[in-house]
Structure 1
Amino acid sequence: MAFSNRLLAGLPPAELHYLAPRLDPIALRPRQVLNWRAEPIEHLTFVEEGLVSVLAQTGEREEVEAWLIGREGVVGLSTLLGGESFSFRRVVQVGGSGLRIRACDLRRAFEERPVLRRHLLRYAHAVLVQAAQNGACAARHALEHRLARWLLQARDGLGRDELPLTHALLSRLVGVRRASVTVALGRLEAAGILAQRWGSIVIAAPDRLEAVACDCHRIIRSRYEAVARQAEAVGADIMDRAGAAPLSGTVPFPPGGGETPPAMPVRRPYPCRAQARAAGRADFRRHVMAATGLEVFDKTLQTTNIWLDEIMEEIGPDRRVAWHALGAVLMTLRDRLPIELATHLGAQLPLLVRGRYYDQWHVAAQPERIRSLDEFLERISERMDGTGRPVNTRDATRAVLRTLSRHVDPGQVAKVIEALPLHIRQIWPAGPANDAASGAPGSTAA
């Protein structure tokens, strides 16, 4: 059985042999919703052909794409990282086919099969890079560069030059007016880089389109290519040890039943939903830190947990509440800062925290006019709804800001404080950066 999905094709035969009987082929229809926002994730889908957008809500009836999934990935990854649901919708934009697996089955394999776990964590790292880079790209780069980057990502995900996309769809995904997309595509077509047909766009000169695109595409693609290279190296090593030839994404199934694969050791029962609740973040962290050899991912997990531990020292020993508080404060702070300063602050955050920081960033609304400290704290409190237990918003805010001051460059912190109105600055715990900002000439942010 051969796979077009690169994530599956990059797995060693033993892992494929385990997963294959649990995979069900499905059709992916345009505009089909694979996962609803805030709904439990019961299935994950490996995309064989097509494109799926992960959509972040930016208003009551507005959404923009956070990242794109094609044949390189899987839809619903967050359920393996400790979440039963997620704040994004996942919608099929280009139809095709996929392989669906129950979330409980993949969670069990994720926990009990180290090779598979490391492979999926490498992919998770690539997704985090893509989401963070997309946020930075939206904040800093011109539409034509962003559009070129998006079209190249879609080409990578589909594996072909003809993209069945309309101007209206592109405008919704990129988060700009349709007229702006039409003008930008017209310039690219006039330059001979694209050809537009009814309901589709053909990339006529991929190399020239790459020259137009910003560097974000190279950064994102290089991370996904690294996932494939590492998977090939692991597979080759396993084959060398076993004295067999690599099978390159093909799973041998004995005809007529034949010999069955060796039984997988079961460590403990793994109910579909109960396990996700019972495992908890501490259990997930223990498995990841023990099993993954991914230095970058290990480092960002360690750093993020240091931050959460410091926050928990002040607001109580609940990691879930600390994570919600960290995200709520950072997102509210981000919305009050000028775009350039918000982007510079995001660049200094741990990779996992950075993904949360850029979540639902509506750049056009920057900076928000929050007129009082009470309003600032109210925004944070709204974002902390659903944490499971009451927590004092003022205490949580000071705990997060204190942690930020400890770990972010003091000069950067001083610039952030200086950009805030005086009535919001008073919540920031005292420290060298605060003193520097208070003493800075002309520090009277409105």
Structure 2
Amino acid sequence: MTDSRDAKKNHLLAALPDAEWQRWLPQLEWVEMPLGEVLYEAGKTLEHVYFPTTSIVSLLYVMEDGASAEIAVVGNEGLVGISLFMGGESTPSRAVVQSAGQGFRLKAQTMKDEFNRAGPVMHLLLRYTQALITQMAQTAVCNRHHSLDQQLCRWLLLSLDRLQGSELVMTQELIANMLGVRREGVTEGALKLQEAGLIRYARGRISVLDRPGLERRTCECYAVVKKEYDRLLPVKLAT
């Protein structure tokens, strides 16, 4: 049986009205989400939507030559698989677990049925979708106009917002794939942040030592995204 306390670590699930929550609870399936697991590939039919609780999922656009760039991150604030209720059965992006943890999933047909009830669930999911679109748009702007150093700070802060602690388990190669840059660029950027006393990076583990310092160093893009999420999706604590 699903543990309701664990499921409500996901803010969208925690925000469900009681009637919808009671209807969803028996259908939520707890899942492990190991680092690097692909939840869905571009163009494939989605069979589930995922609600991360202690994991983070990266949405990546993959080019024909294999190069990739991250377009958004999803953690305990949201869900993976919005195309199911936005009128499509698939998406052009790939969803990959960027920080290992757990989550819950719901069958695709169940999600579509819930959305089509046109009640509070639909409005909640549409507000989340608007916030996610803001993140995607701001990521595109950031990648075009801001330095790798600023992008790395933005990425770290967005990831931290979706975790309970201050440490990420992440290889330089995976960060490079997400930011769409060379691995050497990530190494140089991480060393700069470490020398400034903002992070400690060793053996694939990034510990954030000075979050206010990261916020001062990043560009405006992080604040724009955070403000929109806070406006559209006020956090409801798990009960």
Q: TM (normalized to structure 2)? A: 0.94
Aligned residue in 2 for 1:249: 238
Alignment of 1:85 with 2:90, yes or no, is: yes
The whole-number CA distance in structure 2 between the counterparts of 1:13 and 1:197 is 44
Which has more radius of gyration? 1
Alignment of 1:144 with 2:133, yes or no, is: no
Alignment of 1:121 with 2:126, yes or no, is: yes
Aligned residue in 2 for 1:297: none
Greater share of helix residues, 1 or 2? 1
From the superposition, tell whether residues 113 and 17 of structure 1 become closer, same or farther in structure 2 (CA, over 3 Å).
farther
CA-to-partner distance for each residue in 1:64-99, whole Å, 9 max, x for gaps?
111111111111111110011111111112111111
Q: How does 1:373-392 map to 2 (within 5 A)?
A: none
Give the % identical residues: 33
Aligned residue in 2 for 1:197: 202
Q: What amino acid does structure 1 have at the position aligned with 2:47?
A: E
- CA RMSD between the two structures: 1.3
The whole-number CA distance in structure 1 between the counterparts of 2:63 and 2:147 is 20
Gaps in structure 2 of 5+ consecutive residues: none
Gaps in structure 1 of 5+ consecutive residues: 233-247, 251-446
Q: What amino acid does structure 2 have at the position aligned with 1:46?
A: F
The whole-number CA distance in structure 1 between the counterparts of 2:62 and 2:80 is 18
Q: What amino acid does structure 2 have at the position aligned with 1:152?
A: L
2:127–2:233: 8 Å Cα contact kept in structure 1?
A: no
SS in 2 for 1:92: strand
The whole-number CA distance in structure 1 between the counterparts of 2:20 and 2:224 is 29
1:13–1:249: 8 Å Cα contact kept in structure 2?
A: no
Alignment of 1:217 with 2:222, yes or no, is: yes
Q: What amino acid does structure 2 have at the position aligned with 1:179?
A: E
The whole-number CA distance in structure 2 between the counterparts of 1:104 and 1:71 is 22
Alignment of 1:94 with 2:92, yes or no, is: no
SS in 1 for 2:175: helix
Greater share of strand residues, 1 or 2? 2
Aligned residue in 2 for 1:36: 41
Q: What amino acid does structure 2 have at the position aligned with 1:176?
A: V
SS in 2 for 1:183: helix
Q: What amino acid does structure 2 have at the position aligned with 1:143?
A: L
Q: CA deviation at 1:176?
A: 0.8
Q: TM (normalized to structure 1)? A: 0.51
Higher normalized contact order (CA 8 Å, seq sep 6+, divided by chain length): 2
Q: What amino acid does structure 1 have at the position aligned with 2:55?
A: G
Q: What amino acid does structure 2 have at the position aligned with 1:204?
A: L
CA-to-partner distance for each residue in 1:243-274, whole Å, 9 max, x for gaps?
xxxxx534xxxxxxxxxxxxxxxxxxxxxxxx
Aligned residue in 1 for 2:169: 164
Aligned residue in 2 for 1:49: 54
Q: CA deviation at 1:59?
A: 3.5
2:128–2:233: 8 Å Cα contact kept in structure 1?
A: no
